[in-house]
Amino acid sequence: MAISEETIGLARKLALKNAIDYGSAKEGAIISKVLARHPELKPYMGELSQAVKAVVSEINLMDRKVLESEYSRYAGEFESLEREKAEKSSRHRFGIEGAEKGKLVTRFPPEPSGYMHIGHAKPLFIEDELRRAYDGKLFLYFDDTNPDNEKQEFVDAFIEDLKWLGLSFDREYYASDNLEMLYGYALEAIKRKGAYVCTCGGEEIKKGRLSGIACRHKSQQVSENEGLWKKMLEGSFGDGEAILRWNGEMKAANTSMRDPTLFRIKHAVHYRQGEKYFVWPNYDFCTPVIDSVNGITDVIRSKEYEMRDELHLAILDLLGLRKPRITSISRLEIANNVTSKRKIRSMIADGLITGWDDPRLVTIRALRRRGITAQAIREFALSSGMGKSESTAEMESLLSMNRKLIDATAKRLFFIEDPMEMDVSNTGGVTVSMKLYPGSGNDYRNYTVKGELFINAMDGKVLHKGDTVRLKDAFDVEVYDVGKRVTAGYKGDNPGKLSRIQWITRDDAVKCELLIIGNLLKGEEFDRESIKRISGYAEGYSSGLRRGDIVQFEKLGYFRLDDKEKMAFISL
Ligand SMILES: [Zn+2]
């Protein structure tokens, strides 16, 4: 299918706007915007991408003045679109039917078995919005009853990331500090005929749950269960030899109700409790009980847990504990990326990525390293509201929210990718002051132009003897000679009309490496081209940059200085 003229026209308008907003148009951004309006083009990605590529390269070669004049023809159209978008996003109200001011208590319940990622951010920020809206409370609850997986390192990392995201909590507590209390509730559940001890093998239990057939232990007397439970706690059973099960309905349509495990035996060193305990509650028992006793009124969680709501509420009913309101929301997933700990661990082990903060990942530390602000993560996480309809978000939309936030403070600098010498010795020293930021402001970088410059070979090769060209933001030069290098000399200062080329002074040029970050995955597979490297030279001002500084290299986009020693920048 050929891409229609109309679509190309749309891509052109979008590219113009993109270039006006960010200095240069980005192919990926334009493609996702076109697809948002024309999802029917998804099967024709190859053709679309080719068409957009052509449009983008044309736009990126345009002089700013021409760009602005063409853009102004469509400005009205874009303004009304922006207005529509703003109205739409302000429609997200964070509220819960029946919640009352001053009475809402909610919690963020991470398991410290990995690093925080973008998926955690959605419920977290919704909870924070609800706390604000209802003048309520937000607790931090570490769900840490899997001794094999959890580490203090992850607790510390969560706390650090949450602090960086600007979150504070009214209380912080740990599931594993409450085991004695949970054992008490377990005994109560046994006494009320809501739980029994089962010593069947794992396979047998699985089969029974699948086929809806009860095992012989289900009919044990309460006293028998009490005795066996006591033995479990005393250590008479080894790992996996006995479990405490919910006494539910083996034929229930909701399979979560078919006598699931409530407690299991596991001898291991727990990062917080040491070897003190070896009978561990499962999530299904632990979380509802701990929520209830801590006064949680509202639980916000992604909808894949919905099947378990019935069990959680039944446990609380049995124990006579107060039930929270549960609000299910859709999960936040990023296209062509992963949040699965197992998959990330194996990619690290295989040397495909460098660690949990690899800039291609969507862990909070990776996003932070990449230069995504906490504010952008918040806006992005909240942008889909509290609805339940699933959608996969594009990384590009987070990046674009971020660009709007960093634009005003990103220093504009020149970068020469493929250097060609331009000798301007005749000029004999002209001092130029160039703005560091667009718009108003008094911050400048200053150079004395004499001797040799670097310009892009692409610009240099099209020059001819006698041409007059403008060194961007500086002055005009006349070309005396073009060969392997260009010789030129000062030709006045007439901003506006001439074609303008980027330049840097050769003596203080800084060798740099730019890492262009793409999607981690292509389809289901790791994309071996997910990082592209560009070597080149940045202007002398760059030598004073510090790690973490964000710049915009003209025509290339935004970058964050990641490694000062290597002068390596990561694309934003
Ligand atoms: Zn059994």
pLDDT at 441 over 60: yes
**Domain harbouring 388, CATH code:** 1.10.1160.10
Given 43, 65, 90, which residue is the final one in a domain? 90
Task: Record the pTM.
Answer: 0.82
φ/ψ of 149, rounded to 5, equals -100, -20
Report CA(204)–ligand 1 centroid distance (Å): 8
Q: Do 154 and 259 share a domain, yes or no?
A: yes
Residue 96 belongs to some domain of the structure: no
Give yes or no: residues 389 and 248 share one domain.
Answer: no
Query: Average pLDDT, stretch 31-39?
Result: 86
Q: Give 514-531 pLDDT, tens digit per residue.
A: 999 999 999 889 999 999
Whole-number Å distance, alpha carbon 212 to ligand 1 midpoint, is 13
In a domain, 297, yes or no: yes
Closest CA to 226 of 179, 178, 191: 191
Same domain? For 185 and 322 the reply is: yes
Give the pLDDT of residue 89: 54
Q: Are residues 462 and 400 in the same domain?
A: no
CB 112 within 8 Å of CB 158 = yes
Q: Are 187 and 120 found together in one domain?
A: yes
Beta bridge partners of 280: 264
Place of tokens 């960010």: 22
Cα–Cα distance, 501 to 498 (Å, whole number): 10
Q: Verify that 494 and 418 share a domain, yes or no.
A: yes
Ligand 1 centroid to residue 219 C-alpha, Å: 10
Is the Cβ–Cβ distance between 126 and 301 less than 8 Å? Answer: no
Backbone phi, then psi, for 224, in 5-degree steps?
A: -65, -45
Q: Where do the DSSP E strands lie in 219-324?
A: 243-246, 261-265, 279-281, 298-302
CB atoms within 10 A of CB 331: 17
pLDDT per residue as tens digits for the range 376-418: 999 999 998 888 887 789 999 999 999 999 998 899 999 999 9
100 belongs to a structural domain: no
Domain termination site, one of 57, 90, 123: 90
Cα of 178 vs centre of ligand 1, distance in Å, is 27
Q: Are residues 405 and 415 in the same domain?
A: no
| pLDDT above 70 coverage of the chain, percent | 98
| Cα 230 to averaged position of ligand 1 atoms, centre (Å) | 17
Domain tally, the chain:
4
User: Are residues 315 and 169 both part of a single domain?
Assistant: yes
> Does 448 share its domain with 385?
no
Q: pLDDT > 90: what percent of the chain?
A: 76
134 C-alpha to center of ligand 1: Å? 47
Residue 42, domain member (yes or no): yes
Domain boundary among 37, 65, 90: 90
| Gap from CA of 567 to ligand 1 centroid (Å) | 63
Residue 420: give its domain's CATH number: 2.40.240.10
Report pLDDT for 72. Answer: 81
In-domain check, residue 98: no
CA of 283 to the centre of ligand 1 (A): 21
552 & 511 share domain: yes
Q: Same domain, yes or no, for 336 and 322?
A: no
Question: What distance in angstroms lies between residue 128's CA and the mean position of ligand 1's atoms?
Answer: 43
Task: State the distance from the centre of ligand 1 to the C-alpha of 243, rounded, in angstroms.
Answer: 9
Domain that holds residue 183: 105-329
49 Cα to the center of ligand 1, angstroms:
59
- Mean predicted lDDT score pLDDT of the chain: 93
Residue 518: what pLDDT? 94
| 68-82, 141-155, 316-330: range with lowest mean pLDDT | 68-82
The pLDDT value given to residue 45: 85
**43-57, 136-150, 241-255, 343-357: least confident range:** 43-57
Does one domain contain both 345 and 325? no
Please tell me the distance between residue 256's alpha carbon and the centre of ligand 1 in angstroms. Answer: 17
Distance 255 CA to ligand 1 centre (A): 17
E strand or H helix at 381, and its extent? helix 374-382
Residue 516, beta-bridge partner list: 532
The predicted-structure confidence for 482-513, as pLDDT tens digits, reads as follows 999 999 999 988 877 778 899 999 999 999 99
The pair of three-digit structure tokens given for residue 380, joined into one six-digit string: 């992005």
pLDDT in tens, 82-103: 766 665 555 457 899 999 999 9
CA of 244 to the centre of ligand 1 (A): 10
Q: What CATH number did the domain enclosing 122 receive?
A: 3.40.50.620
Residue 483 domain-assigned? yes
The pLDDT assigned to 346 comes to 93
Q: Is 97 a domain residue? A: no
274 located within any domain: yes
The residue-averaged pLDDT of 98-122 equals: 96
